[in-house]
Structure 1
């Protein structure tokens, strides 16, 4: 859902505003999750990180397409998608590895 909001922001205020909102949301979500004291804080942090992913997926590929030289533009965009998927994979490995930690995993 945040991608729709990001598209409106990108259209009205430009890529820079979307990148700044996404970056701020990544920062706030990561900070909340790092210092979470209970499950509610983790959920709130994940909501911020979800918004950040939506904004990032809207603004970053567009920015990369415009900034990359034409010769390597496709490779740069594919690397963005590859690193996103690798990040998800690594996060799932961490989740699996910590799922047995007592009491909540």
Structure 2
């Protein structure tokens, strides 16, 4: 989804276990610089060693942490390591507008 959005954050997603009116905005992805391609092989972009500043430095990288924001969540901003699986759907602006109406 990040790549489909021109390597930009700020797109909206819904997890398949959430109610229809709930969605979140993607704020960041661990070790991804906005505007830059994700390192690794799609679709998971893993399989390489964690960088030196990571708690698991030198070990093969697992799931990246994705930071999300949602007005309905407590706390409103949180992180998940489940960003690399297929339980997420991207929402377009029309879908967001329909939820708010």
TM-score range, shorter chain: under 0.3
Higher Cα radius of gyration = 1
| Structure that is richer in strand per residue | 2
TM-score (structure 1 length as normaliser): 0.25
TM-score under structure 2 normalisation? Answer: 0.26
Give the helix-richer structure, 1 or 2. 1
